[in-house]
């Protein structure tokens, strides 16, 4: 699974580098919020997957402990050297309590929890790919091999793979919950209920591996409609926060600047004007603190580049992070 995550991360990195200059809307509540680089968006998932790998490796530490010698619950009467056996079999350690060893299914529950987070990340990305490939957005086009047409409607191109991965997320969650429920009331040592751990574990492994593998291939063929993305931000209202920040830099308290910019946004709606097309005299109608530099301040490119700090969306920072990743971080 970790090697498949590595592969998916490499696919994300490749697409990010190819589209390093593409600016897209960043969303909160599915409403346009602030402009970001598309590459910054992809690297967000890279970081999620990095944490997923860390969780799996941490889970492995507790799974790779040898229970052999615990017997039914009290240990064994045979003269065995558990530590030598563990070393020969490749375990990092031995269990320290025979009753705990035969009672334990934490290592499976912990893996199912880590797997649930992995599939949750894939599901969130699936949702965005589904939305962005819709005719209403049209930001991206998924490769034909990962979509199907409709048996009735010839104009349709349905995002089957993201929908299936999104659907399988509930299946993985169900496996985690089913084992938690099975274990919640069991007295210590073995009970036949614990036989129910096999299906959730094996199906989760198969589902996670298949989902990661197909996502790695699908993302490689992702196409962006940059004109459609640009046109979605044509009214410039996505820069409203930057304008509020501009006033703060001029000494206006943020509460006041927020109110002023809110009135400007209402004005743009009423007059059907783009924020970026407002003249200096119009700016000054709302506040005398607007100076001539506001005319160059309100632009998508400058808004992105102003976020020039560790973790920010500025191109310089995104390229720096890519270099760090390629160097082994």
Number of structural domains in the chain = 2
Q: Mark whether 257 and 227 lie in a shared domain.
A: no
Closest residue by Cα to residue 219 from 1, 4, 2: 4
Distance CA 283, CA 286 (A): 6
The predicted structure's pLDDT at residue 155: 86
The predicted structure's pLDDT at residue 44: 99
At 155, list the tokens. Answer: 């104009």
Last residue of a domain, one of 181, 211, 231: 231
* Residues 218-239: b if buried by 16+ CB within 10 A, e if exposed: bbeebebbeeebeebbebbbbb
Q: Mark whether 21 and 135 lie in a shared domain.
A: yes
The predicted structure's pLDDT at residue 41: 98
The predicted structure's pLDDT at residue 212: 98
Domain assignment present for 185: yes
- Could you tell me the CATH number of the domain that includes residue 196? 1.20.200.10
Q: Mark whether 134 and 159 lie in a shared domain.
A: yes
- Residue 148 DSSP code: B
Q: Mark whether 151 and 273 lie in a shared domain.
A: no
The predicted structure's pLDDT at residue 329: 83
Last residue of a domain, one of 165, 200, 231: 231
Written as tens digits, the pLDDT of the chain (329 aa) is 999 999 999 999 999 999 999 999 999 999 999 999 999 999 999 999 999 999 999 999 999 999 999 999 999 999 999 999 999 999 999 999 999 999 999 999 999 999 999 999 999 999 999 999 999 999 999 999 999 988 899 888 999 999 999 999 999 999 999 999 999 999 999 999 999 999 999 999 999 999 999 999 999 999 999 999 999 999 999 999 999 999 999 999 999 999 999 999 999 999 999 999 999 999 999 999 999 999 989 899 999 999 999 999 999 999 999 999 999 98
The predicted structure's pLDDT at residue 154: 84
Q: Mark whether 132 and 7 lie in a shared domain.
A: yes
The predicted structure's pLDDT at residue 25: 98
Query: What's the pTM?
Result: 0.94
Distance CA 169, CA 67 (A): 32
Q: Mark whether 257 and 192 lie in a shared domain.
A: no
Domain assignment present for 95: no
Counting every residue written for the chain, the total comes to 329
Active-site amino acid positions: 29, 150
Distance CA 31, CA 79 (A): 68
Closest residue by Cα to residue 111 from 178, 174, 63: 63
Domain assignment present for 98: no
Domain assignment present for 139: yes
Closest residue by Cα to residue 235 from 189, 200, 272, 205: 272
Q: Which domain holds residue 243?
A: 237-326
What one-character-per-residue DSSP string does 49-91 give? HHHHHHHHHHHHHHHSEE-TT-TTTT--SS---HHHHHHHHT-
The predicted structure's pLDDT at residue 119: 98
Q: Where are the beta strands (DSSP E) in the chain?
A: 23-28, 31-37, 65-66, 93-94, 140-141, 223-224
What 3-state DSSP class applies to 171? Answer: helix
Inter-residue long-range contacts of 150-157, CB under 8 Å, 24+ positions, other chains counted? 157/133
Residue 28 pairs in a beta bridge with 31
Q: Mark whether 242 and 170 lie in a shared domain.
A: no
Last residue of a domain, one of 200, 231, 262: 231
């Amino acid at each position: 699974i970790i090697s498949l995550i590595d592969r998916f991360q490499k696919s994300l990195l490749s697409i990010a580098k190819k589209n390093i200059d593409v600016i897209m809307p960043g969303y909160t509540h599915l409403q346009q919020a602030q402009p970001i680089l598309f590459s910054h968006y992809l690297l967000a998932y890279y970081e999620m997957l990095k944490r997923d790998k860390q969780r799996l490796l941490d889970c492995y530490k507790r799974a790779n402990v040898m229970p052999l010698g615990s017997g039914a619950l009290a240990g064994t009467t045979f003269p065995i050297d558990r530590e030598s056996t563990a070393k020969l079999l490749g375990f990092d350690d031995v269990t320290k309590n025979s009753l705990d060893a035969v009672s334990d299914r934490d290592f499976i529950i912990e893996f199912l929890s880590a797997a649930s987070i992995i599939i949750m990340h894939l599901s969130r990305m699936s949702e965005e790919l589904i939305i962005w490939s819709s005719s209403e957005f049209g930001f991206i086009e998924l490769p034909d091999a990962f979509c199907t047409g409709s048996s009735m409607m010839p104009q349709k191109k349905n995002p089957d793979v993201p929908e299936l991965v999104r659907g399988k997320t509930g299946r993985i969650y169900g496996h985690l919950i089913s084992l938690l429920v099975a274990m919640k009331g069991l007295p210590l040592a073995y009970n036949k209920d614990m036989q129910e751990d096999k299906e959730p574990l094996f199906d989760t492994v198969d589902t996670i591996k298949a989902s990661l593998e197909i996502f790695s291939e699908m993302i490689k063929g992702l196409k962006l409609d940059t004109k459609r993305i640009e046109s979605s931000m044509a009214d410039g209202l996505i820069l409203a926060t930057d304008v509020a920040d501009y006033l703060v830099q001029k000494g206006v308290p943020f509460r006041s600047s927020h109110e002023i910019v809110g009135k400007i946004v209402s004005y743009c709606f009423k007059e059907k004007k783009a924020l970026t097309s407002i003249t200096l005299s119009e700016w000054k109608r709302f506040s005398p603190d607007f100076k001539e530099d506001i005319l160059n301040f309100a632009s998508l490119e400058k808004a992105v580049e102003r976020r020039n700090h560790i973790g920010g969306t500025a191109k310089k920072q995104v390229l720096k992070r890519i270099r760090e990743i390629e160097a082994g971080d």
